Amino acid sequence: MLYFIKQLVKPVLKRKGFSLILAYMLLLALSSFSITLVEPKESALTHLGQALWWSIVTSTTVGYGDIYPASPLGKAIAVCLPMFMGIGLGAAFITHVASSIIERRDKKMHGEETYHNKNHIVLVGATDETQYLMEQILEDENWSNREIVLAANIKRHPLPENPDIFFIKGRPDTKETLEKANISQAANVIIHTGNDEENLFALVNTLKLKNEACNVTVHCHSSSSLDTFSSVPGNFEIIMQMTAEVMVQAMQDKVHIPLQVLLQNNDDQEIYYIVLPELAHDLTWWELHDYLKNKYDYLSFAIKFTDDSILVNPSQATPVKKGCGIWLIAEQRPVDILWPA
């Protein structure tokens, strides 16, 4: 039985906080029981409940004075046990709590803790735009209720005051770092280390560790690396160089997919820019858009006015005239266009 009790208490004693609490409880029990033995019968301290109350009040330096020892031996017990030892244990416990809070904050600041929640967004790697990217995610109403875990090999937490951002320090392309980020329970993963080689290794390890429902987006910096990323087996999305706003929108609206097709410069999907010549009469945007689509199968989507202002998807009634530039999608560069008479 003694061995069994010892095994139960042993792990508790290894923790300093629990050891201090246990020592304080033993001190209260010892001082309370001792004072009941030495005080005269007419004293309230002969009752164990009152003695416990007195021990707590005295050891915490509250000192109400409603109950106090009358005998010399009782006073000696009060000085030795609840006063000196109680104050010492109390100070030690407060110091331990304060140091624990500081230590935990320090670990959070330097990314030494492991993330245990789920349905979070993991950002693998850090670049100059990482902080802005996290701010964009938190501002997006579709992702504002998700916690962000940044797994990156940087010195300290970039936004320590934000409770929705958790930092894991380590090489972002290793399994150890990804496991500390609890990537197996993540809802979304964005890989953008700033280097295609690191992105590739991080992608391979992420695909091994993630759950089936997790959406993975990897940032491809060079078009020459696109074939390598595409050859990796698994369910993930590849995005080319994009702004933080587009990366966030890519998680929800998949805008990177058509943009990626256009960036690949396929023969049948290219963007061209043409400047309007002198027209026989003024046209509206929709008249010109409809004419180019019906006659040449060109898809116009943006216009640059003569004052250099740019409008994407302009309204149908927007007037167009000589000198305006038009962006359109075509199979080959538009030449020899017969403008409407």
Tell me the per-residue pLDDT of 206-250, one tens digit each, with 9 for 90 and over: 999 999 999 999 988 887 788 899 899 998 888 876 556 666 767
Give the model's pLDDT for residue 128: 87
How confident is the model over 72-91, as a mean pLDDT? 81
121-263 under CATH 3.40.50.720, yes or no? yes
3-state secondary structure of 61: coil
Give the model's pLDDT for residue 321: 87
Question: Across the strands, what pairs with 17?
Answer: none
12-109 under CATH 3.40.50.300, yes or no? no
Domain definitions of the chain by residue range: 12-109, 121-263, 270-330
d(Cα 59, Cα 82) in Å, to the nearest integer?
4
Give the model's pLDDT for residue 225: 85
d(Cα 287, Cα 79) in Å, to the nearest integer?
98
Q: Quote the radius of gyration of the chain (alpha carbons, Å).
A: 35
Q: Do domains 12-109 and 121-263 have the same CATH topology?
A: no
Neighbour count for residue 149 (Cβ, 10 Å): 24
Contacts of residue 92, Cβ cutoff 8 Å, sequence gap at least 6? 20
d(Cα 108, Cα 100) in Å, to the nearest integer?
12
Specify whether the CB–CB gap between 38 and 73 falls below 8 A: yes
